[in-house]
C-alpha cells in the first residue's frame, strides 16, 4: 500500500485514524508553504544582489574604458628598460 487511502476504503479505517492522517497532511502542507515562502524570499534577495552587481560591473567597465590616461601600460607599450 502506497499510503493513499481511496474513498472506498474508509470502512477499513476508523474515524480517528482518518482525522490523524488529515492533520498530518495539513501539517506537512503548512510546513511546505512556509518553506516555499522562505525560498522565494531568498531567490528575490539574490536577484536584487545580482542586479546590483551587474550595475556595478557595468560602471567598472565604463570607467576602465574611459580612463585612457591609465597608469597601466599597454602590452605594445611595455618595452624593457634600456639596460637589458
Q: Lowest mean pLDDT of 16-20, 29-33, 62-66, 70-74, name the range.
A: 70-74
What single DSSP character describes residue 83? T
Q: For residue range 64-78, list pLDDT tens digits in order.
A: 998 865 566 666 666
- Cell numbers for 79: 618595452
Reported as a pLDDT band with limits 50, 70 and 90, residue 15 is confident
Cα–Cα dist 54/60, whole Å: 10
Cα–Cα dist 16/35, whole Å: 29
pLDDT at 10 exceeding the cut of 60 = no
- Cell numbers for 50: 545580482
Three-class secondary structure of residue 53 per DSSP: helix
- Give domain limits for the chain: 12-63
pLDDT at 41 exceeding the cut of 80 = yes
Amino acid at each position: 500500500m502506497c499510503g493513499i487511502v481511496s474513498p472506498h476504503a474508509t470502512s477499513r479505517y476508523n474515524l480517528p485514524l482518518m482525522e490523524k492522517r488529515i492533520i498530518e497532511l495539513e501539517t506537512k502542507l503548512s510546513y511546505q508553504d512556509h518553506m516555499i515562502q522562505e525560498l522565494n524570499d531568498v531567490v528575490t534577495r539574490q536577484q536584487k544582489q545580482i542586479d546590483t552587481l551587474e550595475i556595478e560591473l557595468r560602471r567598472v567597465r565604463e570607467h576602465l574604458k574611459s580612463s585612457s590616461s591609465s597608469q597601466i601600460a599597454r602590452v605594445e607599450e611595455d618595452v624593457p628598460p634600456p639596460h637589458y
